[in-house]
Amino acid sequence: MCLGCGVRAPKSSLVRFTAVPRDGRLALVHDDDGSLGGRGLYTCASRGCFERAAQRRAFPRAARTAVVVDESLADGIGDGGMVSGA
Ligand SMILES: [Zn+2]
């Protein structure tokens, strides 16, 4: 389910994020292939959905812990696919 708009879609059509430890906190990162494990947090491949989810604090709510959301993650979403890499 997309954390931005709430649409139910196959995970394969959503963008996967997860929270990883960074500088003593948990930070949201891209995990499109699921290689990082952990709890998957999903949005549509849409910048708008990511931003809505961030504004609504949907990521920490879904992760059930405090998560730092770097809004630059939105730069890699939508309009022709994801930017690979950290
Ligand atoms: Zn969405």
pLDDT value at 2 more than 80:
yes
In a domain, 62, yes or no: yes
Å from CA of 40 to ligand 1 middle: 15
pLDDT value at 86 more than 60:
no
In a domain, 27, yes or no: yes
Instruction: Give the pLDDT score at 37.
Output: 87
25 DSSP β-pair partners:
22
Instruction: Give the pLDDT score at 79.
Output: 58
Å from CA of 2 to ligand 1 middle: 5
Q: What are the Cα distances from residue 84, in Å, to 13, 17, 58, 61, 76?
A: 16, 13, 23, 26, 8
- pLDDT band at 49, cuts 50/70/90? very high
In a domain, 26, yes or no: yes
Q: Average of pLDDT values for 45-50?
A: 94
Token couple for 20: 């990883």
In a domain, 32, yes or no: yes
> Domain residues for 30?
11-76
How many domains is the chain partitioned into structurally? 1
In a domain, 54, yes or no: yes
In a domain, 86, yes or no: no
In a domain, 85, yes or no: no
Collapsed DSSP state (helix, strand, coil) of residue 63? helix
In a domain, 36, yes or no: yes
- Residues 21-34 have pLDDT tens digits of 999 999 999 998 89
Å from CA of 23 to ligand 1 middle: 29
